Amino acid sequence: MSPPVASVPALDLTDPATFVRNDPHEFWRTVREREPVYWHGPTGGRQGFWVVAGYADVQAAYNDAESLSSGRGTVLDVLLRGGDPAGGKMLAVTDRPRHRELRNVLLRAFSPRVLRDVATKVSERTSRLVRSVTEIGSFDFATELAEQIPMHTICDLLSIPERDRKDLLEWNKRALSSEEPEGDELDASSARNEIVLYFMQLAQERRENPGDDVISMIADAEVEGRQLTLEEIALNCYSLILGGDESSRMTAITAVLAFAENEDQWRALISGEVSVASAVEEVLRWSTPAMHFARTATRDLHLGGRQVRAGDIVTLWNTSANNDESAFPSPRVFTPSRHPNKHISFGHGPHYCVGAYLGRAEVRGLLTALVEHVRDLELTGEPARIYSNFLFGYSSLRVRFHPR
């Protein structure tokens, strides 16, 4: 028997254009008021799925890894196509107990010793880039600066040769979003394959000639008593690229837009009235680049008062939870001094993002550089949104940085 039809506005959450043509925050506010857990009916011949919008329900779902599996995939589109072939191989789409061992391998790659040098490079590179654009007048922050920081950061972590980084950026931009309403799924799939093939080749090279780098570390590690295959190494490097570049790039662009549109908060930041550390957390909440993650129910369960059946797809909407009035007073007011600020932009529970420290370091580096080098942020064009039902962000943001 199918779940009852929802009483919320009939927006198709599988359509990337939905999040551009409609006000997503107004939609989610209505959902939280009327039916914070609801059934989204089938569209385009594909199955329906559960939508979880409230902060407490989303947190509870993330914590229940036994009932809600990541093994078939964690992105709605992938699950609707039948599941993720990387299941059990890539950390994000692996369940316990293998998940725990694989996570420990990647946590070693994100050790303080490794990240200390990377974070220093982030700060230095960001400061240099921000300073360089203060004298050029109007420019596109998205392409001139935001594209340069996250990809180089994760490539520094993985010791990717400079000559290969431009290709990786282009593939990654096509993998999860589009600048057009009708994205090309074949193009996106091709881009993902290019990234995996690239890392398989690099993993082979590092296994044959190991060095003091993260890929060599992963290639040498054992999970469940054996070394990872080249495909498994490549998939986990791909996962790091996805999280380390795409999400951080969207966050950086949204951060500049937020401060440009809220001059009083910008003044509070550069005067020291608001700390950079506090502003980092509000930027992460405000941007919430990964709008949702998805799970598959392994057994019947109750969630938010609704009956979920084994095999159902359950989508957890971070972008709604991070704007839930019960957890964040006046959530649509950008408040860099907000405290407490227990956002879930990095997820929650057993699958909490292993790159959270690095993500924070990137935002901190950007805000610190802006405070040091920029007096005023001026919008000089209309921001252009990306088309995605997974990522929230912008493909273009024309601004002028007036130097201090």
Domain ranges of the chain: 84-291+320-403
pLDDT in tens, 236-263: 988 888 777 788 999 999 999 999 999 9
pLDDT in tens, 257-290: 999 999 999 999 999 999 999 999 999 999 999 9
What is this structure's pTM?
0.93
pLDDT for 7 equals 77
Average pLDDT over residues 216-228: 92
- Three-class secondary structure assignment of the chain: CCCCCCCCCCCCCCCCCHHHHCCHHHHHHHHHHHCCEEEECCECCECCEEEECCHHHHHHHHHCCCCEECCCCCCHHHHHCCCCCCCCCCHHHCCCCHHHHHHHHHHHHCCHHHHHHHHHHHHHHHHHHHHHHCCCCCEEHHHHHHCCHHHHHHHHHHCCCHHHHHHHHHHHHHHHCECCCCCCHHHHHHHHHHHHHHHHHHHHHHHHCCCCCHHHHHHHCEECCEECCHHHHHHHHHHHHHHHHHHHHHHHHHHHHHHHHCHHHHHHHHHCCCCHHHHHHHHHHHHCCECEEEEEECCCEEECCEEECCCCEEEEEHHHHCCCCCCCCCCCCCCCCCCCCCCCCCCCHHHCCCCHHHHHHHHHHHHHHHHHHEEEEEECCCCEECECCCECCEEECEEEEEEC
- As its CATH architecture, domain 84-291+320-403 has Orthogonal Bundle (1.10)
